[in-house]
Structure formats: structure tokens, C-alpha cells
Structure 1
Amino acid sequence: MKTLERLWTVDEVAVYLGVPAATLYQWRCRRIGPPAHRVGKHLRYLPEDVRAWVREQA
């Protein structure tokens, strides 16, 4: 059974990608950034989705 990683916050993804958090919000509006999910009122990212998105950019 695969162990699930905890979801990343916007700030954690911003640090991982080396971009401002505001850039992630802009990308989300333009539908060009890594896929994000709403958890209640919070925006969260699956780490494997972020890593896959980075690989696709190369």
C-alpha cells in the first residue's frame, strides 16, 4: 500500500518552485500552473502532481 504524502500549501509549492505565491494564484487563474485542489477554503497541492508538472515543463 502506498503511503500518501501530506498536501502542500501554496507557500510550500512557491518555495519548491522558487516563485512568489502570487505567481501560483495567477497561474491557477490562467490554468497554466500545477494542478491544485480546494480543501474547504484552502488551496492545496498533491506533491506528486507538482513534481509531474515540473517534469512536463522540461
Structure 2
Amino acid sequence: MATTPEVLVLPDGRMDRKNASKYLGNAPKTLAQWAVKGVGPRFIKRGRVWYFKEDLDHWLKAGAATSTAAARAMEAVQ
């Protein structure tokens, strides 16, 4: 049985990149690369990079309807 990684979410809903990557199931480096390309979830930078759980959930739901072909087409445009 797989265990769910513990994710630290601050009282205001913020997560650092390490915890956001655990929440999404990606590597922190992947989130950093997405941020550079402008294709990942919304984040803020206040000394450190922060993600809000609400934004991660929205990003996940919005991407659920995207096909692999559509994702490749978006990459080609960028």
C-alpha cells in the first residue's frame, strides 16, 4: 500500500516549492522549470517561491481536460 507524503501547508494556505512538488507529485526542479517557461501553476516570490494550495488545486483541475496532443501543441507554440 502506497503512503501519502506529508505536505506542510501553512495556515494561510501557502506551501514552499518542496511541499508543492510533493502535493503535485513532481520534483521541485520540475516546478522550477515550469516557472521559467510560464506553464506551471501560479506562484508568488517573496524572498522564496510560494504556492497557494487553492492555486495548485485550480491548476490541477484545469489540466485534467488537457490531452497529450494539446499539451504538445502548447509547447510548440512557446
What's the TM-score bracket when you normalise by the shorter of the two chains? 0.7 to 0.9
The counterpart of 1:43, out of the listed 25, 49, 67, is 49
Q: Structure with the greater relative contact order (CA < 8 A, sep ≥ 6): 1 or 2?
A: 1
Alignment check: 8 A CA contact 2:13 2:54 kept? no
Q: Please identify the structure whose Cα radius of gyration is greater.
A: 2
Give me the whole-angstrom Cα distance separating, in 2, the residues matched to 1:9 and 1:38: 10
Which 5+ residue runs of structure 2 have no aligned equivalent?
A: 1-10, 65-78
TM-score when normalising by structure 1: 0.86
Residue equivalent to 1:28: 35
Identity over aligned pairs, percent: 26
Offset from partner CA, 1:2-58 (integer Å, 9 cap, x none)? xx633111011100111110000000000000000011x200011101100000001
Gaps of 5+ in 1: none
Task: State the number of aligned residues.
Answer: 54
What amino acid does structure 2 have at the position aligned with 1:17? L
TM superposition score normalised by structure 2: 0.65
Ranges of 4+ aligned residues in structure 1 off by more than 2 Å: none
Asked if 2 retains the 8 angstrom alpha-carbon contact of 1:10 and 1:45, the reply is yes
- What do you get for the CA RMSD once the two structures are aligned? 1.2
Q: Which residue of 1 aligns with 2:73?
A: none
